[in-house]
A = this chain, B = another copy of it.
Amino acid sequence: MIKLSNYLSNQWQPVTSGGGSLSDPVTGQQLAVTSGPAAGLALGFNHARTTGAAGLQSMTYAQRAAMLGQIVTVLKAQREDYYAISLTNSGTTKADSAIDIEGALFTLGYYAKLGADIGATHTLADGEAASLAKDNSFQSQHILKPVKGLALFINAFNFPSWGLWEKAAPALLSGVPVVIKPATATAWLTHRMVTDVIEAGILPSGALSIVCGSSQGLLDALRPFDVLSFTGSADTAALIRRHDAVARHSVRVNIEADSLNCSILGPDAAPGTASFDLYVNELVREMTTKSGQRCTAIRRALIPAQFYNAVAEATSARLAQITVGNPRNETVRMGSLVSRAQFDSVQSGLSRLRSETTVLYDGSRQNLIDVDRSISACMAPTLLGQPDADQAPLANDHEIFGPVSTLLGYRDSAHALELAERGMGSLVSSVFSADHEFLARIGTELASTHGRVHLVSPDAEKSQTGHGNVMPASIHGGPGRAGGGEELGGMRGLNFYHRRAALQASSAVLQQLK
């Protein structure tokens, strides 16, 4: 049995009893255990804040960027092991594991490049100096400095690799030490990658720590200048916001929580058009990629009511071709959900949403390949639908985190926009249409309540990056229900790990800034 020990204060800690366990979601086999409540949290966090921060901040941005490049090299060398762990612990096919693993490498590489472009400096200027005197003799220059604390990441089960590195890349580049607390169910891959990077000796002591298993005491160990980035449920997010560290010490928090993302088929995109075909492709891809376990997946398919049957038929026909089951079988296109608990949660969500929708494609009747239905967390995709979207309020409110979407018919584009906003804030929405002016207009409207708006016209068929794919050049996060956070987005991703300050001084003093 593999034991996932904690790494704090530059040392692997003994695995204590009372921790959690990790299983293969296809076979049910137990794979690993984690430690009980972590010992030495306060000391470990302090080591990160002092030694870790000093080590990182003695380097320039360019040097830290080079360090990210070295992490990519180390991780690439162990790639095959990561795919094996992903298959075993997450029940994902090679293509789905790639999204997590290659997505991490791509994001690390992106920030290595961005950091090299920043160059050999210790301090970032924020804009130009503004004059505070009529003769320019006294000025205000804003600068960005790394926050004077550590970055704690409390992550979700669906991206053990990308979820770590999409946060750690901007944090480490900023010079801020990282403590990662992965979700227990899939902590193995995170733990293995952290181990490989630590053993490669790339990072200064204290720059990267990991706590697996119990989260007891984690938030209590936070101090005023620390930052906390959380990805998970809205319920846990509310607990975090109420915690003393946040409420009393102004610990800066980034939250990515629930999201009922929608994708809109344009009024012009009738059956037979290129936009229609692109839309059906995208919907099927979003439902089945990682078995729908992406926070950016399309949960609500908003379509012109008159095209309802056509979309239902085309999508169902495509879903019927998706082979589902044990990802070790080469004919399988879609693997497992991450755990039996997740499987139960999806089933319960399905029965809630079925109260107001019709089942347009019923995955439960589909054959599953090489799995024991009583043990595995595999399930085939299921398409729900309601031709009059106003009759399905729950569909805007209850997120099913699995291979399930709901077709919702809209009357006109104003209705579509209104429905999109009933999600009360989402990570992403997309629109498919050949009408460029319509896309620009509705896209600008959707931008008020969605962190990312993905607009697909047929001229972008080959180059569009996908509704659910998070690109490091674009921000990731959304308002309201989605948690109000913001990650990535190129240089914008560094903001969370920096503190902005205005330096007011004579021009002669500002010229001395290094």
A interface with B by C-beta (< 8 Å): 123, 127, 130-133, 135, 137-138, 140, 142-143, 145-148, 224-225, 234, 237-238, 241-242, 246-250, 252, 255, 257, 421, 424-425, 436-437, 439-441, 443-444, 446-457, 459-460, 462-465, 471, 473-475, 479-484, 486, 489-490, 492, 499-506, 508-514
B242 x A509 contact (CB < 8 A): no
Complex alpha-carbon distance, A67 and B132, angstroms: 25
Quick one: closest B residue to A129, CB to CB? B473
List residues of chain B with CB within 8 A of the CB of A492: 127, 142, 500
Contacts A501-B450, A505-B439 hold; do A247 and B242 have CB atoms under 8 A apart? yes
Specify which of B130, B479, B505, B512 is in contact with A499 (CB 8 Å cutoff): B479
What are 7 inter-chain pairs, A to B, with CB distance below 8 A? Answer: A138-B465, A148-B448, A443-B513, A444-B513, A459-B506, A475-B500, A475-B502
Q: A453-B502, A490-B130 are in contact. Are A436 and B225 (CB under 8 A)?
A: no
Residues of B within 8 A of A443 (CB): 503, 505, 509, 513
The CA-CA distance from A130 to B489 in the complex, in Å, is 10
Q: Are B510 and A440 in contact (CB under 8 A)?
A: yes
Is B138 a contact partner of A509 (Cβ separation < 8 A)?
no
Question: In the assembly, what is the distance between CA of A456 and CA of B238, in Å?
Answer: 44
> What's the nearest-Cβ distance from chain B to residue A425, in Å?
6
Residues of chain B within 8 A (CB-CB) of A241 are: 241-242, 246-247
Chain B residues whose C-beta falls within 8 Å of the C-beta of A503 in the assembled complex: 443-444, 447, 453, 455
Please give me the residue from chain B that is nearest to A491 by CB atom: B127
List chain B residues, Cβ under 8 A from A237.
247, 250
Copies per complex?
Answer: 2
Query: Would B502 and A444 count as touching, CB distance under 8 A?
Result: no
CA distance A131 to B473 in the complex (A): 8
CA distance A424 to B447 in the complex (A): 37
Residue in B132, B147, B425, B464 whose beta carbon sits within 8 Å of that of A471 in the complex: B132
Apart from A142-B475, A447-B501, A489-B500, list 4 A-B contacts with CB within 8 A.
A439-B509, A441-B512, A450-B501, A453-B504
Shortest A106–chain B CB gap in Å is: 12
Instruction: Give the distance in Å from the alpha carbon of A168 to the alpha carbon of B2 in the complex.
Output: 58
**Contact between B252 and A247, CB atoms less than 8 A apart:** no
Decide: B457 and A505 in contact? CB cutoff 8 A.
yes
Contacts of A500 in B (CB 8 A): 451, 475, 486, 489, 492
B508 touches A436 (CB 8 A): yes
Question: Using Cβ atoms and an 8 Å threshold, which residues of chain B touch A462?
Answer: 137
The CA of A83 and the CA of B502, in the complex, are separated in Å by 31
**Choice from B132, B436, B480 contacting A465 with Cβ under 8 Å:** B132
Lowest 6 CB-CB distances: which A-B pairs, in order?
Answer: A440-B512, A474-B502, A224-B480, A133-B463, A447-B501, A250-B484
Residues of B within 8 A of A513 (CB): 440, 443-444
Contact B506 A460, beta carbon cutoff 8 Å: yes
- Among residues of B, the one whose C-beta sits closest to the C-beta of A485 is B250
CB contacts (< 8 Å) of A486 on chain B: these are: 500
Interface pair B250/A145, CB less than 8 Å apart:
no
Known A148-B449, A484-B250; judge A439-B512 contact (CB<8 A): yes
A147 contacts across to B, CB distance below 8 A: 448, 479
* B residues near A451, Cβ cutoff 8 Å: 500-502
A127 to B460, CA, bound (A): 22
C-alpha spacing A98/B509, complex, angstroms: 30
Contacts of A131 in B (CB 8 A): 473
Task: Tell me the complex Cα distance, A30–B456, Å.
Answer: 65
Which of A135, A441, A502 gathers the greatest number of chain B CB atoms within 10 Å?
A: A502
CA–CA, A213 and B146, complex, Å: 41
Looking at A457, A511, A512, which has the most chain B CB atoms within 10 Å of its CB?
Answer: A512
Known: A142-B475, A455-B504, A512-B437. A444 touches B132 (CB 8 A): no
Nearest chain B residue, comparing its CB with the CB of A453: B503
- Report B-chain residues with C-beta under 8 Å of the C-beta of A439: 505, 509, 512
User: Closest CB-CB distance, A52 to chain B, in whole Å?
Assistant: 15
Is B460 within 8 A of A505, CB to CB? yes
Are B444 and A479 closer than 8 Å at their CB atoms? Answer: no
Given A132-B463, A447-B145, A464-B138, check contact A452 B510 (CB 8 Å).
no
With contacts A436-B509, A444-B123, A444-B514 taken as known, whether A504 is within 8 angstroms of B250 at the C-beta atoms is no
Q: Are B224 and A479 in contact (CB-based, < 8 A)?
A: yes
